[in-house]
Structure 1
Amino acid sequence: MTRLIPLLAAFVLAPSLSLAEPTLCTARINGRDVPLGYDKEEPGLRDHFSRREILFTSWGRDTCPSYVVLRSLTPDLTDEERGPFCLRHDKASDSIIGYDLGRRDAYGRCEAPAGTVCRRVNQTRNAAVAITGAAARGAVKGARALPDGSGAVILSGSQGHITGALSSIGGAAAAMAASPAIVAGAAVSVVAVGGAVYACSE
């Protein structure tokens, strides 16, 4: 569903390189404990999680702040570009099972019950640039830019509508129309953010 990042890779996800020893933590992802590391002294890191989460992660099995977990699941995005996403939590396994579009609660989890899971569907920047450009020109019906500073453009609708819209853009965007992540869902949201495109489907 989502690829996990090894401990050292998770540590270097911080925007600036640091020679400090990483702070080790454990995240429950897809039903198993995953070790991650991050720079506790990274400027601005604490701005991304609440006091409640600081207390929550100081005890128990899950000791990684939610933003560290989200960074490990979306390594190609900046912190600003991660703005539209929240962590999808499964109560049955008490673990993170991916990420979705939506507002975050105090623990970085999706505030409303998530009905979809997002997956990256492109390998190059071309598709993201094409979708963003088409949305800016008003050439794609139903596309909207988020006002949260992430720069994300979202195209939502039925699988047929999304496939048709991507095909009409052409090039790298059209090549994604047959992606399993898009074809599989009855309702799909395609998110172009940074140089990546994500499909969020049921």
Structure 2
Amino acid sequence: MSRLSLVPLALLAALWTAPALAQEADPTFCTARINDRDVVMGYDRAEARLSDTYSRREQLATRIGRHDCPSYVVLRSLTPELSDEERLPFCLRFDKQTDSVMGYDLGARDAWGQCREQSRAVCRRVNQTTAAAGALTGAAARRSVQGLQTLPDASGAVILSGAGTAVSGALASLGGAAAAVAASPVLLTGAAVSVVAVGGTLYACREGE
């Protein structure tokens, strides 16, 4: 058989399988309870099966209808600017009274992606973050700020924790964009604060909210 005669057969095979591939790519819709409201999301089941952030317990619960949106899908919706690796320091803050995700915090995750140690802390993205995150990451590399640590995982995150006034003072000492962040109201309190620089983004996590 000549090479020319194989071309139509290849095209026919592609046309035959195209609908099946398109069907596999259709999203699976799910519902997540976030801040006491139902939010509909979509995700790829094929990707979910391969995801390291999707535990076997969640996969089993989803198959038997006892769980809806996978935790990594919910965390992606809350931090769309990050990759899955950059999200590693964060866990879902869950409120059992409302059966609702109330945001995200720093800490280890359980099998459901929720924080193993529940706290009253919540993280928020800080405005004007790229330059400030770079300054904090650079300070960690130079070890020029006391208490600034780099996480030993694939996230590349650096964290500065302490009383809000102490964290604000450390940021102010870096100057530039970091000094502007130091004046943020979230830091100017006596509460414990963690500032996280990851993926070119800066987050402030404060207790007591």
Q: TM-score, normalised by structure 2?
A: 0.83
Q: Give the Cα separation in 2 of the matches to 1:36 and 1:30.
A: 15
Q: Determine if the alignment matches structure 1 residue 192 to structure 2 residue 202.
A: no
Q: For residues 1-202 of structure 1, what are the structure 2 equivalents within 5 Å?
A: 20-42=25-47, 45-58=50-63, 59-60=65-66, 63-184=68-189, 186-202=191-207
* Structure-2 separation of matches of 1:120 and 1:45: 29
Deviation at 1:185, TM superposition (A): 5.8
Which deviates more from structure 2 when the two are superposed, residues 50-59 or residues 25-34?
50-59
In structure 1, list runs of 5 or more residues that go unmatched: 1-18
**Match of residue 11 from structure 2:** none
* 1:135-177 deviation digits (Å, cap 9, x = unpaired): 1111111000000111000000001110100100111111011
Q: Secondary structure at the match of 2:156?
A: coil
* Unmatched runs of 5 consecutive residues or more in structure 2: 1-23
SS in 2 for 1:111: coil
Give a deviation string over 1:11-66, Cα, whole Å, max 9, x none: xxxxxxxx921111110100011001112222774321112112333424x51000
Instruction: Give the ranges of 4+ consecutive aligned residues of structure 1 lying more than 4 Å apart after TM superposition.
Output: none
Decide which structure has greater helix share: 2
Change (3 A) 1:180 1:44: farther
> Residue type of the partner of 1:154?
I
SS in 1 for 2:187: helix
RMSD (Å) for aligned C-alpha atoms = 1.7
Percent identical residues: 65
Q: Distance in 2 between matches of 1:162 and 1:184?
A: 10
Q: 1:154 to 1:44 in 2, by over 3 A?
A: farther
Computing the radius of gyration over CA atoms, which structure comes out larger, 1 or 2? 2
Answer with 120-129 or 176-185: which moved more. Answer: 176-185
Q: Structure 1 length normalisation: TM-score?
A: 0.85
